[in-house]
Structure 1
């Protein structure tokens, strides 16, 4: 027998009455982002059509039972106050993690993985990826894939080919059409907050 340990990247869907059509709509819109992740179905409805669809699309999935691993709550990230005065008077934020700064455009095929905070001053081309467990500040247009599990993200524009996942939540591109800088964070109940700066 051989045993291998893998880190599982997954999306968990909680489905109730009337959610089947919402699932298919969400899946169609976000299939590129979901690809390569395990789909977990937590459902009170018959999943036959959804099972068939996921099998046709060759997705790995399972239906949730009493699995204590999935019940674990994520640690609530520190909610940061983003006022400039607070930042000047409190240097503890800058000591949180090292910050990496990228000035050049991120080219197609590039993959950046870091545990540090990351600032990107230029655009991100299609076919490129960023994955960080730190905070992310993105000043250029996003046309690649970003996965961020930090306390916050600062972004202004998600392009047509861009996909952004913040702490397991796929960001809706429609909320970034204004191209004004926005801060994305989670509240104490792990609900997404998007604030225009």
Structure 2
């Protein structure tokens, strides 16, 4: 991580520049540089190293700071009845939840929706609309432990699913999911995709 973080501010670095910046022994540094080169993360050109094109995506993540996680939450149903599942991992272990997951690099909301529903529930779905975009901060003992940007979308499926009564199960449903379902299910918003070179 420390080696890679040097490439946030330089396209190419010599071995001696990396060694001097990190203050590590040459043999230890050589081992790590060889490993990063072998894995295709770094490229060695002459006596300089640079990030490979395939590793450019790492640059925003080369920090000690924790960052917010973008996720898509998928509503199949409406504000009264919706497809929910019982979570088996934290946060929100054993709560009823909207299906959802991370948005992968380069993925559209429609593609993320289809992928998540296929991978996790073996359901073919069709993206309908983006309902809302929200921030969620999970607080434990007066400290934020998780932060998410929630892309709340509606999709439809022809698959056979069981829908849960939202009002009757309010206490069993993740509170933020309940709020989104009851307040934002009938909304629609737009988001632009910008492709930059």
The TM-score bracket by the shorter chain reads under 0.3
Larger radius of gyration: 2
For CA contacts below 8 A with separation 6 or more, give which structure has more relative contact order: 2
Give TM-score, length-normalised by structure 1. Answer: 0.20
Give TM-score, length-normalised by structure 2. Answer: 0.20
